[in-house]
Amino acid sequence: MDALTGVGGTGDAGPLPPPHHGALARAYAGITATVDGLDDRDMLRATRCRGWVVADLLVHLTGDARRALVALATPTAGPGDTDAVSYWRGFTGPDDGRHAWWVRRSASAFDRPTGTVASWTETASAAVRAAHRADPRGFVATQGHVLSVLDFLATLVTEAVVHHLDLAVELPDAPVPDQAAVDVAVGTVDGLLSDEAVRPTDWSDLDYLLKATGRLSLTEHDRTALGEAAGWFPLLG
């Protein structure tokens, strides 16, 4: 894959890809801009994640930023056992609902829905600072895997971009995700699609991400354009 996504970053010697902390900062800033200034009623609007309102999804994202803080603060020895693409092959469908229920209960512990915004903002900012300081040649452990720092940051960016789109489904004034962050997510999905297939030419980047993650269903036109590859969708859940 290209240098921006850092796919295949298993610590091989050679020129380093550009650091990902900039893309992570932009991805997280886009989420902050989406929720900043919302009132309690807006925080209870539906998202694309079944059963979650905006406040719930923001709690889930805060947990992801907290996981980033822990991983980046505790580097481990390499090499990596997965990369920014293969990491997602274990996430092709919904869980059994326990995490979704935990998130809902955690969000309900706040005095009001907007209370989740401050928690997100401070945690996301800390994660971005940790990413900025991380050794781009290093490795981290997370969720039972070892990844290069660059690949780990790419996974965070991909999740942030997709969930930004999830947050905004009933928020018409929400900004679109930053293109630098979108490019990382698209690179990830390209890797999952494989070199033997390409996305339909009439899909925008955001269409691609929504359809690759099952947020939007494939049309008959899409299935014709994709051919056999249509059966691989969704590429990640």
Q: What is the pLDDT confidence band of residue 30, given thresholds at 50, 70 and 90?
A: very high
| pLDDT given at position 91 | 64
**Residue 4 predicted with pLDDT over 90:** no
Could you tell me the two tokens for 198?
């390409």
pLDDT in tens, 34-47: 999 999 999 999 99
220 phi/psi in degrees, rounded to 5: -60, -40
**Residue 220 to residue 218: CA distance in whole angstroms:** 7
pLDDT score at 20: 64
Q: Are 153 and 6 in contact (CB under 8 A)?
A: yes
For the chain, how big is the Rg over CA atoms in Å? 17
Quick check: 11 pLDDT over 80? no
Give the CATH superfamily of 21-179. dinb family like domain (1.20.120.450)
- Mean of the per-residue pLDDT values of the chain: 89
The DSSP output letter for 148 is: E
Predicted local confidence at residue 196, as pLDDT: 78
The pLDDT tens digits for 168-187 are 999 999 999 999 999 999 99
Map out the domains of the chain as residue ranges: 21-179
Is 194 or 159 the better-scoring residue by pLDDT? 159
Helix (H, G, I), strand (E, B) or coil at 111: coil
Mean pLDDT across the stretch 52-80?
Answer: 96
- Hunting for tokens 């040649």 — which residue is that? 137
Q: Which residue has the higher pLDDT, 146 or 237?
A: 146
